[in-house]
Structure 1
């Protein structure tokens, strides 16, 4: 049956590529994926999936329910695009490949439905908004529509320096991420009498320097850096009383990230105090690191080995990139999840203007997802 599946998807190549072209032609911002969501929902209904729309505004699910007790296996893709600056203004583009992710997931869904490959349990297709802002998964989870999931698959194009076309990794191990806006409060004065004021801009500048001197545990892959800095001063001859910095922190370990946050706050509070200033912190909600679920990862490895051979199976990818995909397993009790990484000769790179990739990957990715889902359903049946 697996060979039948692979052949079906190979013969369905033109349709999958047409889906991608349609999605590519209508890039939309996070939580504004209205046309994308409608198109994907209509496609799922044509395939016989029961859809629930409007989750978090634009998210949706499609369920293929056999009516027979069994596992609930989800396959998820993200829908949003990125905004880029051009000489004639800002424009949206699919430079992270979410249009490709959706096309691969929809291709896998269609093949499993048409070939009647789900014999028990449920197959649940998930199209999520707002991955780029790391907010969409939270909305999907809070809806309660995914609380019955047992297993969850995802897929994403990987940059060329990690994987090339024909290579698939059974797991992308994203890092945990948090960000914080730090508001420094000083005291305004005339620029000629700095002795009468507390320069919040100087406090902010020194905070960037001292943050860079923090020694975090080197056993964990991590990064910490300032990404924005500003003051409220409109005049150049006034010592500013307020300044703001945004810091981005990442670590492969959730616990290590918490330690990084504590050290950063302590350092910035001490820096502000040494100037006679104050520091207030506004933290974003943390995005968790990927967990290693051996059972589902082994099943995916088995499936992609059958598809691309041992030479095409790459090692798990460790990255300081973050993905809210991993929030599902953290928030949904008993859920095992894994995100496949797939090589696509991405050029010049993800999140870069006019990003291109080898479109042959659309069929390969759909095959990898469908075969992985088949193995999950099969092992659950044997149990």
Structure 2
């Protein structure tokens, strides 16, 4: 439908980073008003909630609305290279298809801010957006290597991710007198080696690696007493991530004792892995096959990428949830500054999402 493509282009032209999606929120409200759909805004934050239908039980649908901040052709700017502008357009398109249909339940459309910061879902859970919700659906375009145009998956199985940010504190010393200081790089080198001794079942997809080290200055004859570091931890399952976290903490505590350097650290940016409901997945599968046939249905997409969508089911495990993956010949890839895709997939995605909601 022309409206969906028009909306996509309008959102694409106003990319805004997390918690600053002011124009985006205004635009969503304007479109909802044009469709005659009731909505609620938040006085202290961006984002918007819309509802159609009636009933005690609620089917929820989530669209993330923020953009990335990245360098494009040498200029730092907001950029919808993750496709959230497409997600908004598809969810609004689903409302367009559903608003005239007989509905036995209430449908709640959640236009969520700050997904890229990993904070939006948690904030909206605090706002009570999951009250009375039995099923939750999301939708997201997928890279071409995962799904080509014309293929749609009933679920995206994102991995879990967390970062550790740390600082080693020691004592600077002249390079000729190393015994007078406490070399932070000794600790960093040992940390790097010990992280490689974390052994997890090889059948489990996971990784743990040192991703940042800052130590020393312009003078190369000074042994640095302080060093900053970061560790990236990823796993396809939440319990595996938890095991790795425990081992990382043990290593850091051991190094602090071994070298006598104080190490300050904290975990940051946790995003859980997908907990997909088989029931919700089957509902989406039925919708996909009814519109695209067997040839258009694709198996579940498994990706190490993350999404804060899964906080909803971690915090509310009774909710049956799944995120639909839409093939759109998207390339070179998500988060690439020049990401592009076949826009005809937006109409297809909106139709499948609407049918999924109707079946649920």
State the TM-score, normalizing by the size of structure 1: 0.89
SS in 2 for 1:90: strand
Q: Take 1:242 and 1:48, find their aligned partners in 2: how far apart are those partners? A: 60
Aligned residue for 1:107?
93
Q: Take 1:55 and 1:285, find their aligned partners in 2: how far apart are those partners? A: 26
Q: Take 1:203 and 1:101, find their aligned partners in 2: how far apart are those partners? A: 45
Select the residue among 9, 14, 20 that pairs with 1:26. Answer: 14
Q: Take 1:205 and 1:109, find their aligned partners in 2: how far apart are those partners? A: 55
CA contact (8 A) 1:128 1:140 kept: yes
Select the residue among 81, 90, 99 that pairs with 2:67. Answer: 81
For residues 48-87 of structure 1, give each alpha carbon's deviation from its aligned partner in whole angstroms, at most 9, with x where no partner exists.
2221213761121111142xx3431111111111122246
CA contact (8 A) 2:53 2:107 kept: yes
**Superposition map of 1:189-200 within 5 A:** 189-200=173-184
Report whether the alignment pairs 1:339 with 2:331.
Answer: no
In the TM superposition, residue 118 of structure 1 has moved relative to its aligned partner by: 4.2
Aligned residue for 2:57?
71
The CA RMSD measured in Å over matched residues stands at: 1.8
Aligned residue for 1:5?
none
CA contact (8 A) 1:48 1:64 kept: no
SS in 2 for 1:124: strand
CA contact (8 A) 1:105 1:369 kept: yes
Aligned residue for 1:42?
30
SS in 1 for 2:115: coil
Q: Take 2:73 and 2:179, find their aligned partners in 1: how far apart are those partners? A: 44
Q: Take 2:346 and 2:160, find their aligned partners in 1: how far apart are those partners? A: 28
Select the residue among 220, 225, 236 that pairs with 2:204. Answer: 220
SS in 1 for 2:214: strand
Report whether the alignment pairs 1:14 with 2:7.
Answer: no
Select the residue among 132, 143, 165 that pairs with 1:181. Answer: 165
SS in 1 for 2:321: strand
State the TM-score, normalizing by the size of structure 2: 0.94
Report whether the alignment pairs 1:349 with 2:349.
Answer: no
Select the residue among 122, 129, 132 that pairs with 1:145. Answer: 129
In the TM superposition, residue 223 of structure 1 has moved relative to its aligned partner by: 1.8
In the TM superposition, residue 247 of structure 1 has moved relative to its aligned partner by: 1.2
SS in 2 for 1:85: strand
Select the residue among 268, 273, 276 that pairs with 2:260. Answer: 276
Q: How many residues align?
A: 360
SS in 2 for 1:165: coil
CA contact (8 A) 1:37 1:58 kept: yes
Aligned residue for 1:266?
250
Q: Take 2:205 and 2:336, find their aligned partners in 1: how far apart are those partners? A: 24
Aligned residue for 2:275?
291
SS in 2 for 1:100: helix
For residues 121-148 of structure 1, give each alpha carbon's deviation from its aligned partner in whole angstroms, at most 9, with x where no partner exists.
2111111111112111111111113322
CA contact (8 A) 2:56 2:132 kept: no
SS in 2 for 1:289: coil
Aligned residue for 2:233?
249
In the TM superposition, residue 231 of structure 1 has moved relative to its aligned partner by: 3.0
In the TM superposition, residue 275 of structure 1 has moved relative to its aligned partner by: 2.8
CA contact (8 A) 2:87 2:141 kept: yes
SS in 1 for 2:192: helix
Select the residue among 77, 80, 92 that pairs with 1:94. Answer: 80
CA contact (8 A) 2:72 2:337 kept: no
Select the residue among 37, 40, 46 that pairs with 1:52. Answer: 40
For residues 306-359 of structure 1, give each alpha carbon's deviation from its aligned partner in whole angstroms, at most 9, with x where no partner exists.
111111111111221111101111213521110011111011111111110000
